Each structure stands twice: as structure tokens, then as C-alpha cells.
Chain A
């Protein structure tokens, strides 16, 4: 017996948490699009209900000893059934609470941030849609349900990135996000088709326990393909460039979807199928390689970006890379713990950035610095706290989770991964504090207070309350590391700490501090010229700034290969071959018609000839035969 049925009350709670946002979405889109206040109230209320349900579930099942699962058949066709249901285990409970709380906080924050926007109602509708999709994904007991909500998450991401549809770049970014994650989803789809058709099961618990009929080669193939989906959703190499572009969306959206929850869905899926992935060493190695590569690449990109939101976006990719590395190294609890703390401090960072951007109407960190962003003290304090957490400084939560990740990496077979991880820690601290120092210590500063230049709306109390809450979480979460680990590790793998663990535990904070010091020397101190070492070497700087030319590859694939290559070829085939054949056929018919008509024109003698020939030919045939 892999699981026990879910107790009735918990089932109701889980269903409520998932379905209420859907109801809110439907109600808002159908009835309340034109009533922004009502729409926002409904949406926030739904988020609150979900949060309460999630917390109740967590509390009820704090001491669970086996996963709880129950499902109903939603649709049956032949032998294939799609079941929807609820799978409650520590992972889904934790994720549920993370998603519910961040969603609730971000929606509350949005009440102020989005005030006055023309699409206020629509915005909250889409937020509710996203919540629903995310809850469905988190609670899913089988891969089909994961896939369905996985796609819906992608859809809501598309809608929210392109929320300001008048902005051409926003709609393009939305499209890019959808297509690139969709490319990953296609791999995922192939993967679970293998699981379904040849493995015979899609139940997550059965897959994790190895109760499927796949040989090891097929297991590896399926795991790699499923990991393709994770690459798309968590913006890992090579499907990573959509995430920085996705920052075209409203900042709360970036905070909720593109840092804290949706992109974490990829990591979540990997954790969800951790048992299954563990069955294939090759898949785990590939995941490790991809995670490491993404982590390092995006860190380098973050080092040269001037856009504050993009820096956080790159850091998100980088941190997701850390999580995948941890999971691939077998550090189940470490990966999930990093996911949890990251959700908190990354949401905090984005929301602080939102406050600054809101006040100064620019994304450029140098301009923000010049405009006097540092005078918004509360926001700057919160942001610095988040940055310290991101860099991995005690006592912030990031320190603890990063230590756990490093511990897991130390247990990996190959030392390369640990050293790459440590390099990543240094780079993270460096680019994070590059941003902070640039804003805090501008070379020139405009006169006037925050928002004076544009007279725009400054952040209201609700927004600051949200920031405060998140800061508290960032400060406090680290101290629950042990409890968290005990809770989550009920059925997960257990990373054994390798002999390098002590080295890693010492090196990691040291390198983080070194990164900050390096950033200080280049950006902070009065003597510095605020040009990073990467930017000083022209080609490297260009390489980083242009995202390692990944976008060029994609532009080539869509523009050249697909558009002007295959599609144009098909279009020509349509016009030349198919239409041409048609023209030939019709032309032939007309030709023969003309010929036959020729016999009917004035040529008496040919007609006579034909008549005679037929008549006597028939007589001849009759006589002979």
C-alpha cells in the first residue's frame, strides 16, 4: 500500500483551496470585469480562503507518516482514464502553503500597485486563474493532472506577461514565454506518453516506487524527456531566455510567477518525481549538468544587466539551477528548502523593486540610483535584507538553504559540481551587491524626494506591510531548517554528507562575503568607477549581455529554419505543386473539351468520316465477331 485515503475533511479543504480561485476567475471574467473593486475583493478573498485551507492542511498533517491520496475519474475512454484528485504529502503541503501565501501577499500588494490600471479587474481574474492552476498542479496525484495544470500555468503566465497588450514588447515576451515553455512541454508530453503507453502507469507514487514496467533504458529516456519539460518551465539551459523577457509583465506578476511559484513548478515536478528520477543515473547526471550550466550562465548574464528586474530574473534562473543541482545530487530536502526560502526572499526582492519602479518609473538601476531611490528607506532596507538572503549571509534564510545545497553537492560523485556551485555562490553575491551598491551609492543624484520627478503614486501602507511580512519571513525561515528537513524527509531520499561537506560549509559563506567585497570594490567604494570586471573585457561583456547568443540561435530557428525554411517551402509546395496539379488537371479537362468541341464545329468532312468510320467499323465488328 503506497498511500492511505485522504480523510474527508482534508479532502474538502484541498478541493476548496483549489476550486475557489477558479470560481473567482469565472465570476470575475464573466460578471465583474467592469467592476474593478469587486473583482479585486473577490480575488483576494479567494486567495485568503485558499491560504487558510492550505495552512489548515499543513497543521492537520504535520505528523503524517504516509502519503494520502484520493482521486475520482474525471473522464474515461476505453482503458484510459483521467483521474483528478489530491495527493497530500509533505512536498505538496509545503508547496501549497508557499503558493497560497505568496499568491495572497502578492495580490494584496497588487491592490496598491495596480490601482488605476484600465485592466484592474482582468488582472485579478488572471491572478485567480493562475492560483487555480498552481494548486491543481501541486495537488496532482498523477502525471496527466500535472500536465493539464502545467499547461494552464503556462497559459496564465502568457496572459499575465502580455497583460499590457498595447506594449508590443510585452506581447512578444508573452508569446516567447509560451512558445519556449511549450517546447519543453512537448518533451514532457513525449515523456509521459512513454510512461503511459509502455510503462503502464502515470501515478506519481507508483512511478516513484518503481512500480512500472519500464526497462532501465526506457526509464532513462522517459526521465530525460520529462526533464525537458522542467527545463522549459524552470527556464533552464537552453530554454532560459524567456524568463528575463517575461519581466515585461507587471512587477507583482514577476514576483509571483516568474520567481516564487510558477518557475519553481519545474523544480517542484523534479522533486515530485524524485524517486523516479533516482532510478536513472544518466537522467540525474544530465539534470546536474543542465542545472550547473544554467546557474553559471545566468549568473554571468546578471553581472552585466542594467535592468533591475532582469537581474532578479537571471538570479531566479541561477537559484533554480541551484535547486536542480541539489536535487540531482540527491539532496531532496536541500533542494526543497532552497525552493521555500527562495520563494520568500525572491518575492521580497521583486516587490521591493516594484516599489522603486513604481515610484521612479524606470527599470534602470543607474537611473534609479541617480533618481534617489535610496531615500525610500523602508524599501531599501527590505531589499537589502532580500539581497543578503540571496547572497547567502547569516542569519538570513538564504544562508541556511545554501549551506544545505552545498552539503548536498559535496556528496556528489564528481567534485566539479561542488566547485561550480561554490563559484556560483561567489557570482551570486557579486551581482546581487552590484545592484544594491549601484542604487545605494549613485555617482550623481538628482534633487527632490521619491517620485518627485514624475509625480507618480508612491507605495501605500498595504504594500509596505507585505514587504515587512516577507522580510520577517526571510529573517526567520532559516532557523526552522532542521524542523523543515525532518518534516520533508519522510519518504524522500536522504543525502549523505560527503567528506567535502565541512569544506563546503566553510567555503560557501567565505565566498559569499568575498563576492560582496568584490562588489564593494568595484561599485561601492568612492574610488570605484562602477564598471564590473566582466564589462571591462569587451568580448566577455558582450557575450554576457547578449545572453551567450542564445536568442540568436532561437531567432535563427524560428526565423530562418521555420519561417523562411520549412514553412516557406510548404507554402511554395502548396502554391506550385498542389495548385499546379490542379491547374494541370483543369487545363487538361479544358483541352480535351476544346478538342471534342472541335469535332462539333463546321468541319463537315471529319464528322462524316467519323460517322462512316463508326458505322462501318461497327458492321465490321458485328460481322467478324
Chain B
């Protein structure tokens, strides 16, 4: 007897929330991908837990697919990040389009930006 399924779900929910916070608040393309990974991971945890709860191997299969999709996503995503970085010399998601930043934020953080 392990824990109730609710607890697994709760764990998934907390991890998913962390991933969400990461994607929504970090101004760094790389960290956004990290947040996505965490969210996918949370989903995988819940799937595996559900597979155990309902005695279905289906949940594990889904988790496997999630891993595969994550792999694909990361490879393409990181390639795009590299590509963008080469063009704009920045990982800031707000500065990637047309390689310009909204004027206000640019000014506010100008001294801090290194390269």
C-alpha cells in the first residue's frame, strides 16, 4: 500500500505550478524551456500515478510518450534559442522580435545588461 492517488495528484499539481511560474515570470528563454520541462514532468508523474491507481498500463505508455515529446521539444526549442541568441545577442523573450525591446524596460535595466 503506498499513498492515496490524491497525494500523487497534489505532487503533480505543485510541480506543475512551479513550472508555470517559471515559464511566466522568468525573462529568459532557456528558463522558459526549463519550466516547460518541469510541467511535462509533472504531467508524467500524474500519468504514472493514475496508471497505478486504475491498474492500467496505459498511464505508463503516456508517460513514455511524454518523455519522447519532451525530447523532441527540447531539441527544437534549444536550437531555436541558439538561433535567436545568435541574432539578437539576448535571451530576453521581449527583445527577440525585431531585435528591439520596449523602451521602458530597456532603459530601466540598461546598466545591468552585461555584453
A and B in direct contact, judged by CB atoms within 8 A: yes
Binding site for B on A (CB under 8 A): 601-605, 608-609, 612
13 A-B pairs in the complex with CB atoms less than 8 angstroms apart: A602-B93, A602-B94, A602-B96, A602-B97, A603-B93, A603-B97, A604-B29, A605-B23, A605-B24, A605-B32, A605-B94, A608-B24, A612-B24
CA distance A604 to B31 in the complex (A): 13
Interfacial residues of chain B within 58-103, with CB under 8 A of chain A in the complex: 93-94, 96-98
B20, CB-defined interface residue at 8 Å: yes
Q: Once the chains bind, are B97 and A601 in contact (CB under 8 Å)?
A: yes
CA distance A609 to B97 in the complex (A): 18
Nearest Cβ on chain B to A471's Cβ, whole angstroms: 98
Residues of B within 8 A of A601 (CB): 97
> Most chain-B CB neighbours within 10 Å: which of A601, A603, A604, A612?
A604
Binding site for A on B (CB under 8 A): 20, 23-24, 27, 29, 32, 93-94, 96-98
CA distance A605 to B32 in the complex (A): 9
Q: Once the chains bind, are B93 and A609 in contact (CB under 8 Å)?
A: no
Residues of A within 8 A of B96 (CB): 602
Known pairs A602-B98, A604-B29, A605-B23 / 4 extra A-B pairs, C-beta < 8 Å:
A602-B97, A605-B24, A605-B93, A612-B20
CA distance A612 to B22 in the complex (A): 13
Residues of B within 8 A of A612 (CB): 20, 24
Nearest Cβ on chain A to B98's Cβ, whole angstroms: 8
> Most chain-A CB neighbours within 10 Å: which of B20, B93, B98?
B93
Q: Once the chains bind, are B32 and A604 in contact (CB under 8 Å)?
A: yes
**Residue from B20, B93, B98 within 8 A of A604 (CB atoms):** B93
Nearest Cβ on chain A to B94's Cβ, whole angstroms: 6
Residues of A within 8 A of B94 (CB): 602-603, 605
Residue on B nearest A612 in the bound complex, by CB? B20
Residues of B within 8 A of A602 (CB): 93-94, 96-98
CA distance A604 to B32 in the complex (A): 9
Q: Once the chains bind, are B97 and A608 in contact (CB under 8 Å)?
A: no
Nearest Cβ on chain B to A608's Cβ, whole angstroms: 6
Nearest Cβ on chain A to B3's Cβ, whole angstroms: 24
Nearest Cβ on chain A to B87's Cβ, whole angstroms: 12
* Chain A to chain B: the 8 pairs with minimum beta-carbon distance, closest first: A602-B97, A604-B93, A602-B96, A601-B97, A608-B23, A605-B93, A605-B24, A609-B24
CA distance A317 to B36 in the complex (A): 99
CA distance A601 to B96 in the complex (A): 10
> Most chain-B CB neighbours within 10 Å: which of A603, A605, A609, A612?
A605
Residues of B within 8 A of A605 (CB): 23-24, 27, 32, 93-94
Nearest Cβ on chain A to B34's Cβ, whole angstroms: 14
Nearest Cβ on chain A to B63's Cβ, whole angstroms: 21
CA distance A603 to B97 in the complex (A): 8
Residue on A nearest B32 in the bound complex, by CB? A604
CA distance A604 to B29 in the complex (A): 9
Residue on A nearest B25 in the bound complex, by CB? A605
CA distance A603 to B102 in the complex (A): 11
CA distance A603 to B94 in the complex (A): 6
CA distance A71 to B73 in the complex (A): 95
> Most chain-B CB neighbours within 10 Å: which of A601, A608, A612?
A608
Nearest Cβ on chain B to A197's Cβ, whole angstroms: 70
Residue on B nearest A602 in the bound complex, by CB? B97
CA distance A603 to B29 in the complex (A): 11
Residues of B within 8 A of A604 (CB): 29, 32, 93
Residues of A within 8 A of B27 (CB): 605
Nearest Cβ on chain B to A620's Cβ, whole angstroms: 14
Residue on A nearest B102 in the bound complex, by CB? A603
Residues of B within 8 A of A603 (CB): 93-94, 97
Residue on A nearest B96 in the bound complex, by CB? A602
Nearest Cβ on chain A to B31's Cβ, whole angstroms: 11
Residues of A within 8 A of B23 (CB): 605, 608
CA distance A244 to B20 in the complex (A): 93
CA distance A625 to B96 in the complex (A): 41
CA distance A609 to B21 in the complex (A): 10
Residue on B nearest A604 in the bound complex, by CB? B93
Residue on A nearest B23 in the bound complex, by CB? A608
Residues of A within 8 A of B29 (CB): 604
Nearest Cβ on chain A to B70's Cβ, whole angstroms: 17
Residue on A nearest B98 in the bound complex, by CB? A602
Residue on B nearest A607 in the bound complex, by CB? B93
CA distance A395 to B20 in the complex (A): 120
Residue on B nearest A601 in the bound complex, by CB? B97
Nearest Cβ on chain B to A611's Cβ, whole angstroms: 10
Nearest Cβ on chain A to B7's Cβ, whole angstroms: 20
Nearest Cβ on chain A to B11's Cβ, whole angstroms: 18
